Amino acid sequence: MCNILVGFLFRYARYAVYIYSVQQLPSRLIEAAVDQIATLPGIGRRTALRLALSLLRRDTERVRALSDAIIDMSEGVSPCRVCHNLTEQDTCSICKTPERNRGLICVVEDIRDLLAIENVGTYRGVYHVLAGVISPMDGIGPADINIAALVSRISELNEETEVIFALPSTMEGDTTSFYLYKKLAEFEIKVTTLARGIAVGEALQHADEATLARSMDNRTIYEI
C-alpha cells in the first residue's frame, strides 16, 4: 500500500516538474507575451507559447500590423447606445436604418447570434444584445447583463411592440427568458420566443427526447 502511494507521489512529482519546466522560458519578454496571450478564452499556456513562437518568426512589420489592428479595434469599437450591437459610432447601422421596424425587438445573448439572424436576411426588426445570460453558477445575475436597458427601451414604445426572445435553449437561456418575461409583464406588449423543434434536415430518430417533445407541443397547421 505504502509502495503504491510512494509510486503515485513520485509520478505526480515528475509531472509537476514537467509542467514547471514548460513554464521556464528563456526570456522574460517571451514569458510576458505568453502570459498575455494565455489570458484569451480557450488558450492555455502551451498554445500561448506556440503562438508567441510563431509571432517571433514573423517580421516586425507584420507583428506591428497585428498589434495595431487589435489596438484600433479596442479603441474604435464600442456598444451601440440603443441595442448594444457593436459599432464604430454612437448608434449601430441596424438601429440607424429607417426601414427597420423599431417596434419589433429581437433579444439575443451576444453579437454572434445577431450576426446569425442577419445572415438569414429576412428579419426586418431591430435587436437588443444582452451580452450574456443569467447564470447563478457563474455568478452572473440580471444586473450584470443589459436587462435594465431593455426595460427602459420598451417603456418608451407603444403596445404595438413585439419582443422576440431568441435566447439559447439551455437552463441559463430559459432562466433569462423567464426573468425577462416577468420584468416585461407590466407593459402591454406581445412577447414571443423562437420556435424550438426538429432541425431542418435532421432525422426524427436522431432528435433528443426534449426536442421531440417540444416539436410535438409546438406543432403547426400543415400548409402548402
Chain residues in the site for Zn ion (CB under 5 A): 80, 82-83, 85, 92, 95
Closer CB to Zn ion, 92 or 166, in the complex:
92
Beta carbon of residue 26, minimum distance to Zn ion (angstroms, whole number): 48
List, in order, residues 6 or more apart from 103 with CB less than 8 Å away. Answer: 125, 157, 158, 160, 161, 162
Instruction: Output the CA angle 125-126-132, nearest 5 degrees.
Output: 130
Closer CB to Zn ion, 78 or 158, in the complex:
78
| 3-class state of residue 110 by DSSP | coil
Closer CB to Zn ion, 33 or 153, in the complex:
153
Closer CB to Zn ion, 80 or 180, in the complex:
80
Q: State which amino acid sits at residue 43.
A: I
Beta carbon of residue 150, minimum distance to Zn ion (angstroms, whole number): 12
Beta carbon of residue 127, minimum distance to Zn ion (angstroms, whole number): 7
Closer CB to Zn ion, 30 or 151, in the complex:
151
| 3-class state of residue 5 by DSSP | helix
Separation of alpha carbons 22 and 69, rounded Å: 30
CA atoms within 13 A on the CB side of 157: 21
Beta carbon of residue 82, minimum distance to Zn ion (angstroms, whole number): 4
162: which strand partners? 104, 190
Element at 216 (helix H, strand E):
helix 209-217
Closer CB to Zn ion, 129 or 133, in the complex:
129
Beta carbon of residue 125, minimum distance to Zn ion (angstroms, whole number): 12
| 3-class state of residue 87 by DSSP | strand
List, in order, residues 6 or more apart from 208 with CB less than 8 Å away. Answer: none
Beta carbon of residue 25, minimum distance to Zn ion (angstroms, whole number): 44
